[in-house]
Protein backbone atom coordinates (compact mmCIF):
# COMPACT_ATOMS: atom_id res chain seq x y z
CA UNK A 1 0.00 0.00 0.00
CA UNK A 2 1.19 3.52 -0.77
CA UNK A 3 2.51 5.08 2.50
CA UNK A 4 0.81 8.32 1.53
CA UNK A 5 -2.59 6.62 1.31
CA UNK A 6 -4.96 7.23 4.22
CA UNK A 7 -5.45 4.46 6.75
CA UNK A 8 -8.58 2.35 6.20
CA UNK A 9 -11.67 3.45 8.07
CA UNK A 10 -13.05 0.97 10.68
CA UNK A 11 -15.93 0.00 8.38
CA UNK A 12 -13.44 -0.81 5.62
CA UNK A 13 -11.57 -3.39 7.69
CA UNK A 14 -11.92 -7.13 7.26
CA UNK A 15 -11.87 -8.75 10.70
CA UNK A 16 -10.07 -12.08 10.40
CA UNK A 17 -10.24 -14.73 13.11
CA UNK A 18 -7.31 -17.13 13.16
CA UNK A 19 -5.54 -19.26 15.79
CA UNK A 20 -2.34 -21.21 15.11
CA UNK A 21 -3.60 -24.00 17.35
CA UNK A 22 -5.74 -25.18 14.44
CA UNK A 23 -2.55 -26.35 12.74
CA UNK A 24 -2.37 -29.14 15.34
CA UNK A 25 -5.06 -31.11 13.55
CA UNK A 26 -3.11 -33.72 11.58
CA UNK A 27 -5.25 -36.08 9.51
CA UNK A 28 -2.24 -38.25 8.80
CA UNK A 29 -0.63 -39.68 5.67
CA UNK A 30 -1.33 -42.52 3.29
CA UNK A 31 -2.81 -42.93 -0.16
CA UNK A 32 -4.95 -39.84 -0.73
CA UNK A 33 -7.40 -39.75 2.23
CA UNK A 34 -7.40 -43.44 3.18
CA UNK A 35 -4.68 -43.35 5.81
CA UNK A 36 -3.39 -46.61 4.31
CA UNK A 37 0.27 -47.47 3.80
CA UNK A 38 0.64 -50.18 1.11
CA UNK A 39 4.23 -50.76 2.19
CA UNK A 40 5.98 -50.01 -1.07
CA UNK A 41 5.90 -46.21 -1.33
CA UNK A 42 8.95 -44.10 -0.58
CA UNK A 43 6.84 -41.10 0.45
CA UNK A 44 3.26 -41.27 1.69
CA UNK A 45 0.87 -38.52 0.64
CA UNK A 46 -0.35 -35.93 3.09
CA UNK A 47 -4.08 -36.10 3.73
CA UNK A 48 -5.86 -33.64 1.36
CA UNK A 49 -7.03 -31.60 4.35
CA UNK A 50 -3.63 -30.65 5.73
CA UNK A 51 -2.18 -27.63 7.49
CA UNK A 52 -0.26 -26.36 4.46
CA UNK A 53 -3.44 -25.17 2.77
CA UNK A 54 -4.40 -22.85 5.58
CA UNK A 55 -0.79 -21.70 6.14
CA UNK A 56 -0.80 -20.28 2.63
CA UNK A 57 -4.12 -18.54 3.22
CA UNK A 58 -2.75 -16.91 6.36
CA UNK A 59 0.40 -15.85 4.51
CA UNK A 60 -1.60 -14.29 1.67
CA UNK A 61 -3.67 -12.25 4.09
CA UNK A 62 -0.65 -11.19 6.15
CA UNK A 63 1.60 -10.27 3.22
CA UNK A 64 -0.73 -9.73 0.27
CA UNK A 65 -2.27 -6.57 -1.20
CA UNK A 66 -5.12 -6.28 1.32
CA UNK A 67 -2.96 -6.80 4.44
CA UNK A 68 -3.40 -3.18 5.55
CA UNK A 69 -7.19 -3.64 5.50
CA UNK A 70 -7.20 -6.56 7.94
CA UNK A 71 -7.72 -6.58 11.69
CA UNK A 72 -6.57 -9.87 13.26
CA UNK A 73 -8.35 -11.70 16.10
CA UNK A 74 -7.75 -15.07 17.79
CA UNK A 75 -11.20 -15.94 19.11
CA UNK A 76 -11.57 -18.56 21.82
CA UNK A 77 -12.39 -22.29 21.94
CA UNK A 78 -16.06 -23.20 21.72
CA UNK A 79 -17.76 -24.66 24.77
CA UNK A 80 -19.59 -27.98 24.58
CA UNK A 81 -22.85 -26.19 25.39
CA UNK A 82 -22.37 -24.01 22.31
CA UNK A 83 -21.87 -27.05 20.07
CA UNK A 84 -25.24 -28.42 21.17
CA UNK A 85 -27.04 -25.55 19.44
CA UNK A 86 -26.48 -27.43 16.16
CA UNK A 87 -25.15 -30.90 17.01
CA UNK A 88 -26.75 -33.68 19.05
CA UNK A 89 -25.30 -34.51 22.45
CA UNK A 90 -24.76 -38.12 21.36
CA UNK A 91 -22.62 -37.07 18.42
CA UNK A 92 -20.57 -34.56 20.42
CA UNK A 93 -20.05 -37.27 23.01
CA UNK A 94 -18.75 -39.59 20.29
CA UNK A 95 -16.13 -37.02 19.30
CA UNK A 96 -15.11 -36.38 22.90
CA UNK A 97 -14.68 -40.10 23.47
CA UNK A 98 -12.63 -40.46 20.29
CA UNK A 99 -10.33 -37.72 21.55
CA UNK A 100 -9.94 -39.45 24.94
CA UNK A 101 -8.70 -42.67 23.35
CA UNK A 102 -6.19 -40.83 21.16
CA UNK A 103 -8.30 -40.57 18.02
CA UNK A 104 -9.82 -42.77 15.35
CA UNK A 105 -11.38 -42.67 11.89
CA UNK A 106 -14.82 -41.16 12.45
CA UNK A 107 -16.04 -41.88 8.93
CA UNK A 108 -14.41 -42.65 5.60
CA UNK A 109 -11.36 -40.43 5.15
CA UNK A 110 -12.16 -38.34 8.24
CA UNK A 111 -9.59 -38.89 10.99
CA UNK A 112 -9.71 -37.37 14.46
CA UNK A 113 -6.20 -37.70 15.88
CA UNK A 114 -4.35 -36.27 18.88
CA UNK A 115 -4.69 -32.50 18.74
CA UNK A 116 -7.67 -32.62 16.40
CA UNK A 117 -10.39 -32.02 18.98
CA UNK A 118 -8.72 -28.91 20.40
CA UNK A 119 -8.38 -27.64 16.83
CA UNK A 120 -12.08 -28.34 16.24
CA UNK A 121 -13.02 -26.30 19.30
CA UNK A 122 -10.79 -23.44 18.16
CA UNK A 123 -12.34 -23.52 14.68
CA UNK A 124 -15.90 -23.43 15.97
CA UNK A 125 -15.04 -20.93 18.67
CA UNK A 126 -13.33 -18.62 16.20
CA UNK A 127 -16.34 -18.76 13.91
CA UNK A 128 -18.73 -18.01 16.75
CA UNK A 129 -16.48 -15.14 17.85
CA UNK A 130 -16.56 -13.74 14.31
CA UNK A 131 -20.34 -13.88 14.23
CA UNK A 132 -20.59 -12.28 17.67
CA UNK A 133 -18.39 -9.38 16.58
CA UNK A 134 -20.85 -8.65 13.77
CA UNK A 135 -23.93 -9.18 15.94
CA UNK A 136 -22.59 -6.79 18.58
CA UNK A 137 -22.21 -4.09 15.94
CA UNK A 138 -18.42 -3.87 16.07
CA UNK A 139 -17.98 -4.59 12.35
CA UNK A 140 -19.89 -5.36 9.18
CA UNK A 141 -17.66 -8.09 7.82
CA UNK A 142 -15.83 -10.87 9.68
CA UNK A 143 -13.93 -13.79 8.22
CA UNK A 144 -13.18 -16.97 10.16
CA UNK A 145 -10.15 -18.69 8.64
CA UNK A 146 -10.50 -22.08 10.29
CA UNK A 147 -9.75 -25.79 10.09
CA UNK A 148 -10.81 -28.55 10.39
CA UNK A 149 -13.49 -27.58 7.87
CA UNK A 150 -17.15 -27.89 8.75
CA UNK A 151 -19.75 -27.66 6.01
CA UNK A 152 -20.23 -31.42 5.57
CA UNK A 153 -20.71 -32.08 9.29
CA UNK A 154 -24.37 -32.83 9.98
CA UNK A 155 -26.11 -32.53 13.34
CA UNK A 156 -25.46 -36.17 14.20
CA UNK A 157 -22.53 -37.29 12.03
CA UNK A 158 -19.15 -36.37 10.59
CA UNK A 159 -18.57 -36.29 6.86
CA UNK A 160 -16.00 -35.23 4.29
CA UNK A 161 -13.13 -34.29 6.68
CA UNK A 162 -15.59 -32.23 8.77
CA UNK A 163 -16.39 -32.76 12.45
CA UNK A 164 -18.24 -29.62 13.63
CA UNK A 165 -20.32 -27.42 11.36
CA UNK A 166 -18.86 -23.96 11.89
CA UNK A 167 -21.23 -22.13 9.53
CA UNK A 168 -24.20 -23.94 11.07
CA UNK A 169 -23.16 -22.92 14.57
CA UNK A 170 -22.71 -19.29 13.48
CA UNK A 171 -26.10 -19.30 11.76
CA UNK A 172 -27.83 -20.69 14.84
CA UNK A 173 -26.10 -18.06 17.00
CA UNK A 174 -27.50 -15.34 14.74
CA UNK A 175 -31.00 -16.79 15.09
CA UNK A 176 -30.65 -17.12 18.85
CA UNK A 177 -29.44 -13.51 19.03
CA UNK A 178 -32.54 -12.09 17.41
CA UNK A 179 -32.08 -12.40 13.66
CA UNK A 180 -35.37 -13.51 12.15
CA UNK A 181 -33.91 -14.72 8.85
CA UNK A 182 -30.42 -15.88 7.91
CA UNK A 183 -29.16 -16.79 4.45
CA UNK A 184 -26.23 -19.17 4.03
CA UNK A 185 -24.30 -19.34 0.76
CA UNK A 186 -21.84 -22.20 0.30
CA UNK A 187 -19.42 -21.88 -2.60
CA UNK A 188 -17.27 -24.96 -2.07
CA UNK A 189 -16.85 -27.34 -4.98
CA UNK A 190 -18.79 -29.90 -2.91
CA UNK A 191 -22.37 -29.63 -1.69
CA UNK A 192 -22.67 -28.02 1.75
CA UNK A 193 -24.88 -30.91 2.83
CA UNK A 194 -24.25 -30.64 6.56
CA UNK A 195 -25.38 -27.04 6.78
CA UNK A 196 -28.40 -27.76 4.59
CA UNK A 197 -29.35 -30.77 6.72
CA UNK A 198 -29.22 -28.71 9.90
CA UNK A 199 -31.79 -26.22 8.60
CA UNK A 200 -33.67 -28.42 6.15
CA UNK A 201 -36.99 -28.12 7.96
CA UNK A 202 -37.09 -24.44 8.86
CA UNK A 203 -38.15 -21.36 6.91
CA UNK A 204 -35.91 -19.11 9.00
CA UNK A 205 -32.76 -20.10 7.11
CA UNK A 206 -32.28 -20.00 3.36
CA UNK A 207 -29.44 -22.38 2.48
CA UNK A 208 -27.87 -22.00 -0.95
CA UNK A 209 -25.07 -24.20 -2.29
CA UNK A 210 -23.20 -23.81 -5.56
CA UNK A 211 -21.25 -26.99 -6.19
CA UNK A 212 -19.99 -29.56 -8.64
CA UNK A 213 -22.66 -32.05 -9.71
CA UNK A 214 -21.13 -34.97 -7.77
CA UNK A 215 -24.08 -36.73 -6.12
CA UNK A 216 -23.94 -38.82 -2.95
CA UNK A 217 -20.62 -40.40 -1.98
CA UNK A 218 -21.64 -42.93 0.64
CA UNK A 219 -23.24 -43.48 4.05
CA UNK A 220 -21.82 -40.30 5.58
CA UNK A 221 -23.04 -38.18 2.65
CA UNK A 222 -26.47 -39.48 1.59
CA UNK A 223 -27.55 -36.14 0.14
CA UNK A 224 -27.10 -35.74 -3.61
CA UNK A 225 -27.05 -31.94 -3.87
CA UNK A 226 -29.62 -32.05 -6.66
CA UNK A 227 -32.18 -29.34 -7.33
CA UNK A 228 -34.86 -31.71 -6.01
CA UNK A 229 -33.50 -31.43 -2.46
CA UNK A 230 -35.48 -28.29 -1.66
CA UNK A 231 -36.24 -28.74 2.05
CA UNK A 232 -39.04 -30.41 3.98
CA UNK A 233 -42.07 -29.24 5.94
CA UNK A 234 -41.80 -25.55 6.84
CA UNK A 235 -38.40 -25.58 5.12
CA UNK A 236 -39.68 -26.62 1.72
CA UNK A 237 -38.38 -24.12 -0.82
CA UNK A 238 -35.69 -22.79 1.52
CA UNK A 239 -32.86 -25.03 0.34
CA UNK A 240 -31.55 -23.97 -3.06
CA UNK A 241 -29.05 -26.31 -4.69
CA UNK A 242 -27.18 -25.07 -7.75
CA UNK A 243 -25.18 -27.98 -9.21
CA UNK A 244 -22.74 -26.68 -11.82
CA UNK A 245 -20.99 -28.49 -14.68
CA UNK A 246 -17.41 -29.57 -14.07
CA UNK A 247 -15.02 -26.84 -15.11
CA UNK A 248 -17.40 -23.96 -14.45
CA UNK A 249 -15.32 -20.78 -14.20
CA UNK A 250 -15.81 -17.25 -12.96
CA UNK A 251 -18.35 -16.32 -15.62
CA UNK A 252 -20.52 -19.30 -14.71
CA UNK A 253 -20.47 -18.40 -11.04
CA UNK A 254 -21.28 -14.76 -11.77
CA UNK A 255 -24.21 -15.87 -13.91
CA UNK A 256 -25.52 -18.20 -11.17
CA UNK A 257 -25.18 -15.46 -8.56
CA UNK A 258 -26.97 -12.85 -10.67
CA UNK A 259 -29.74 -15.12 -11.94
CA UNK A 260 -30.41 -17.29 -8.88
CA UNK A 261 -28.66 -16.26 -5.67
CA UNK A 262 -29.27 -12.51 -5.62
CA UNK A 263 -32.94 -12.81 -6.62
CA UNK A 264 -33.37 -15.37 -3.82
CA UNK A 265 -31.85 -12.84 -1.39
CA UNK A 266 -34.24 -10.15 -2.58
CA UNK A 267 -37.23 -12.38 -2.00
CA UNK A 268 -36.06 -13.80 1.33
CA UNK A 269 -34.65 -10.49 2.70
CA UNK A 270 -32.26 -11.96 5.30
CA UNK A 271 -31.10 -10.09 8.39
CA UNK A 272 -27.71 -11.80 8.17
CA UNK A 273 -25.72 -13.48 5.40
CA UNK A 274 -23.23 -16.26 6.08
CA UNK A 275 -20.78 -17.22 3.34
CA UNK A 276 -19.08 -20.54 3.77
CA UNK A 277 -16.97 -23.18 2.15
CA UNK A 278 -15.04 -26.20 3.34
CA UNK A 279 -12.07 -24.46 4.89
CA UNK A 280 -13.51 -21.24 6.18
CA UNK A 281 -16.62 -19.54 7.42
What is the per-residue pLDDT across 167-193, written as a single tens digit (0 to 9) for each? 999 999 999 999 999 999 999 999 999
Strands 239-244 vs 29-30: parallel, antiparallel or unpaired: unpaired
The residue among 276 and 16 whose pLDDT is bigger is 16
Confidence of residue 277 (pLDDT cuts 50, 70, 90): confident
Give the tens place of pLDDT for each residue, 68-113. Answer: 999 999 989 999 999 999 999 999 999 999 999 999 999 999 999 9
Question: What angle (nearest 5°) sits at the alpha carbon of residue 57, between those of residues 56 and 59?
Answer: 60
CA 188, CA 63: separation in Å to the nearest integer?
Answer: 24
- The residues carrying an active-site annotation are 152
What residues contact residue 69 under an 8 Å CB cut-off, 6+ apart?
8, 12, 13, 14
Strands 29-30 vs 45-46: parallel, antiparallel or unpaired: antiparallel
pLDDT of 58 strictly over 90: yes
Percent of the chain whose predicted confidence (pLDDT) is above 70:
95
Strands 14-17 vs 110-113: parallel, antiparallel or unpaired: unpaired
Amino acid sequence: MDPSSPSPLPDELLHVFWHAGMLNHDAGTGIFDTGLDPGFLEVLEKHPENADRVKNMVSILQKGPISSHISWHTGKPAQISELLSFHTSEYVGELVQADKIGGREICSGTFLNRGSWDACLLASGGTLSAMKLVLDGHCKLAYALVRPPGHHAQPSRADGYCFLNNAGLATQLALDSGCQKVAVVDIDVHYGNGTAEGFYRTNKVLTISLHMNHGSWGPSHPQSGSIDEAGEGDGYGYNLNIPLPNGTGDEGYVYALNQLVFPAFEEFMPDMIVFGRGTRF
